[in-house]
Amino acid sequence: MSNEIESLLPHRKPFLFVDEIVSADNEKIVAKHVFSEKEFFFRGHFPQYPVVPGVILVETMAQSGGAGLRKLGVLGGDALFFLGSVDKVKFRRQVRPGDEVRCEIENLRVSPKMIKQAGKAYVGGELAAEAEWLCLVGSPAGSGPGQPTSALPR
């Protein structure tokens, strides 16, 4: 992981799942992450047969999408983005320790208050997971307008 990723995302270890932004443009973002055997969740999911939890794969795709948008300058430096909904999730292949996941993210709709993206996560050429999600965009608590709310925009 590079310092660039830490400058693009507010997440930190052990909950940072992007190692590199391979490419980013207004339509598509491609990012990578290698799931090390030292990931915290492998100790309990499952000790005898470690597998990346599906929710972590969704989080990996969402972080990839957010980092790509920040790299493009679409999201301000202090903007935070929070998952508001996740739809059309399918898991196609297990992801194991040592696997490199390549996320291909499509920007469906991006505005100052909301991000709608769709993503696919691959291991090699094999589809591991896919989903669509909506993130609410806001500022850190106490910094004024644009704070995230618990209600989704209508």
Q: Report, as residue numbers or ranges, the catalytic residues.
A: 45
For the chain, first and last CA: distance in Å?
Answer: 37
Could you give the C-alpha distances from 8 to 16, 49, 75, 93, 125, in angstroms and in order? 11, 33, 9, 29, 27
Give the integer Cα–Cα distance in Å for 15 and 111. Answer: 26
Give the integer Cα–Cα distance in Å for 117 and 110. Answer: 8
